[in-house]
Amino acid sequence: MEYHSQPTTIAILGCDTVVGRSLSVLLEDSSYQTTLLDSYPTGVVDELLDGAHLLLLTPRVDQGYARPS
């Protein structure tokens, strides 16, 4: 009997950042499925995360942020 497991699905909050997009590409190359969510998602959270096994929160740097000197 062959066993076919479903790939783990990882939701990434912050897909509109370089970090979010990079994580998605790296995870998909490692046979994970990804669900990309905007930093400020609209909709019912339960529906947005439907099927996800893990939620990753990516860092966001707002335009007003300045690195300390």
Over residues 43-54, the pLDDT tens digits come to 787 888 999 999
pLDDT attached to residue 32? 95
Percent of the chain past pLDDT 70, that is, above it, reads 80
pLDDT attached to residue 56? 92
Report helix, strand or coil for 12: strand
Q: Phi and psi for 5 in degrees, rounded to 5?
A: -85, 150
Mean of pLDDT over the chain: 83
Helix (H) or strand (E) holding 56: strand 54-57
CB neighbours of residue 53 within 10 Å: 13
Q: Where are the domains of the chain?
A: 9-57
